[in-house]
Amino acid sequence: MTYRLAPIDTSTFAAERAAAAAGRGVDGGDFTVIGSVVQRSDARGHVTGRTEFFEDVLPPRLAHLKMHRSARHHARILDVDLTEALAVPGVLRILTHADIPNNLYTPLKLIGVGPDDEPILAVDKVRYLGEPICAVVAETEAAALEGAARIRVAYEDLPPVFDVEEALKEGAPLVNEYHGQNHFIYEGHHCRRIRFGDVAEAFARADHVFEWRYQSAPIEQAPAETTGCVVVPQADGRLRIHSDTQACFFTLDNTALILNTPFNKLRIVGGTVGGGFGGKVDVVVEPVACVAAMAADRPVRFVYDRAEEMQVSSPRAAERIYIKDAVMDDGRIIGRKATLYVDAGAYARHSPYGTTKAAAHLPGPYAIPNVWADCHCVFTNRTPSSAMRGFGVTIADFALESQMDRIARALDLDPLRLRLLNAYRDGDLKAHRKVAEGTALVEVIQKAAELAGHELPEAYRRMSSTTREGL
């Protein structure tokens, strides 16, 4: 077996590498297993099709669940007519909000972040296109789809708001009554703040001031395996939930709160997942599937189809970021002001968390003595965004590193030298007031320059994360 291996540079940080390995392994020598290639334990199963995923669980009498979803961006629900749907052969039950014991998602309750702001099934209003209203449980997937298609909902349209800055304006349509305003409140503040040094003084004293705007759009996690679960009622009254969740106990705890049942009534079986990328952190399929399994007293499968995965499942938030920098002639950035808007969509999910993570990431991996940031978590009438690989950081990096390139070009400086000049080093105080340690930005820049054949002058090649040399 041969493996593709990126080389490891053993000369940089050689002393620290050796010190951390000292006393490990046989006779205090090298590692025996760590640092070695071991075949991924499930690789053979994955490539031969023998790995079992949750959808391979096929208990007898398995019933299927499909959602009837909102056809409007923002509307009052005037009436829900189930008559035709219930007449579809094979339809067993249709669940509405009245069937859910505690009809509120509680993703952040367990870490003390509120308020609960999202129904499992819509009550009197829908706040985004695709919001679930009724769950149809049927003998077959086709019958469940047919039943869902025959539900008639009468709406009274309400004005939607789709733009984060529009949503924050006076008189904008209110997206989410649980919050009472179109943004999350952070301990009395309208946004998550960073206040470090004095940016006004930095802008007054700067040789140059640069301000630009950046924008991203929602991005789908796009796992090969869509979000789903199979719930199997047990003889002892417990529910066994086969799930592709990224977090088994998170799913268990939240599902129990929604079912209003003791935690130990539930058992999650998972652990082998066909890609997550954050899309399987929210607990969206298990609670309603459990209610359905209890109501029908049958095993129930609820799996998103690809269209649901792309348009209803929570994506990476769109972000809008304004960055204003105070820069000296030599390229030193002495102040950075960032205003960041995270488009949470109609409900909070994990966006308040991601917005705080974005604040912690600012002003990027640079030692900037004056930093001001306002990071807003904003509600709009779109699919709620939530966790996705690097959320809070990925889009900020697009903005920050585009900004660095533009500053370098405006001042006619080498883009890597500009970064090396401003890179954070051990001992620097970050904007969130933690002292930096274990830094290595200088070294990855130097190595990438070498790889790409970008020449750096001797003074820049001698810079280090552990010294102030060259500054």
Stretch that binds other proteins, among 83-91, 145-153, 184-192, 198-206 (CB under 8 A): 184-192
* 457 interacts with other proteins by CB under 8 A: no
- Interface residue with other proteins among 129, 151, 290, 293 (CB under 8 A) is 129
d(CA 465, CA 428): 10
> Measured from the CB of residue 252, what is the shortest distance to other proteins in angstroms?
5
| Closer by beta carbon to other proteins, 138 or else 266 | 266
* 98 interacts with other proteins by CB under 8 A: no
| Closer by beta carbon to other proteins, 45 or else 89 | 45
Q: Do 403 and 368 contact (CB within 8 A), yes or no?
A: no
Phi/psi of residue 56, each to 5°? -80, -5
Q: Which of residues 194-253 bind other proteins (CB under 8 A)?
A: 194-196, 212-220, 222, 245-250, 252
Stretch that binds other proteins, among 62-70, 99-107, 302-310, 456-464 (CB under 8 A): 302-310
Distance of CA 158 to the CA centre of its chain: 28
Considering only CA atoms, which of 293, 295, 284 is closest in space to residue 251? Answer: 284
Stretch that binds other proteins, among 56-64, 132-140, 330-338, 426-434 (CB under 8 A): 426-434
| Closer by beta carbon to other proteins, 103 or else 314 | 314
* 467 interacts with other proteins by CB under 8 A: no
| Closer by beta carbon to other proteins, 7 or else 237 | 7
- Interface residue with other proteins among 81, 156, 207, 397 (CB under 8 A) is 397
- Interface residue with other proteins among 432, 461, 462, 468 (CB under 8 A) is 432
Which tokens sit at 222? 């796009």
* 8 interacts with other proteins by CB under 8 A: yes
Stretch that binds other proteins, among 90-98, 144-152, 202-210, 353-361 (CB under 8 A): 353-361
d(CA 339, CA 321): 6
* 171 interacts with other proteins by CB under 8 A: no
**Which burial class, exposed, middle or buried, applies to 363 when counting CB atoms under 10 A from its CB (0-12, 13-18, 19+)?**
buried
- Other Cβ atoms less than 10 A from the Cβ of 415: the count is 16
* 7 interacts with other proteins by CB under 8 A: yes
Considering only CA atoms, which of 411, 437, 424 is closest in space to residue 371? Answer: 424
> Measured from the CB of residue 46, what is the shortest distance to other proteins in angstroms?
8
C-alpha distances out from residue 206 to 209, 256, 316, 334, Å? 7, 56, 35, 7
Q: Which of residues 34-53 bind other proteins (CB under 8 A)?
A: 34-42, 46
Stretch that binds other proteins, among 86-94, 116-124, 324-332, 404-412 (CB under 8 A): 404-412
> Measured from the CB of residue 409, what is the shortest distance to other proteins in angstroms?
8
Phi/psi of residue 293, each to 5°? -65, -40
d(CA 466, CA 150): 67
Considering only CA atoms, which of 96, 81, 82 is closest in space to residue 135? Answer: 96
> Measured from the CB of residue 263, what is the shortest distance to other proteins in angstroms?
9
- Interface residue with other proteins among 68, 183, 349, 419 (CB under 8 A) is 419
Contact pattern for other proteins over residues 373 through 392, marking x by CB under 8 A: x------x-xx---x-xx-x
C-alpha distances out from residue 175 to 127, 381, 461, Å? 6, 6, 53
* 360 interacts with other proteins by CB under 8 A: yes
* 57 interacts with other proteins by CB under 8 A: no
DSSP 411-425: TT--HHHHHHHHB--
d(CA 246, CA 156): 37
Q: Which of residues 308-337 bind other proteins (CB under 8 A)?
A: 310-311, 315, 318
Q: Do 191 and 106 contact (CB within 8 A), yes or no?
A: no
* 113 interacts with other proteins by CB under 8 A: no
Considering only CA atoms, which of 286, 398, 290, 279 is closest in space to residue 349? Answer: 279
d(CA 263, CA 242): 16
Stretch that binds other proteins, among 143-151, 296-304, 306-314, 327-335 (CB under 8 A): 306-314
* 69 interacts with other proteins by CB under 8 A: no
Considering only CA atoms, which of 348, 368, 354, 426 is closest in space to residue 396? Answer: 354
| Closer by beta carbon to other proteins, 97 or else 454 | 454
* 462 interacts with other proteins by CB under 8 A: no
Amino acid at 293: A
Q: Do 106 and 254 contact (CB within 8 A), yes or no?
A: yes
* 463 interacts with other proteins by CB under 8 A: no
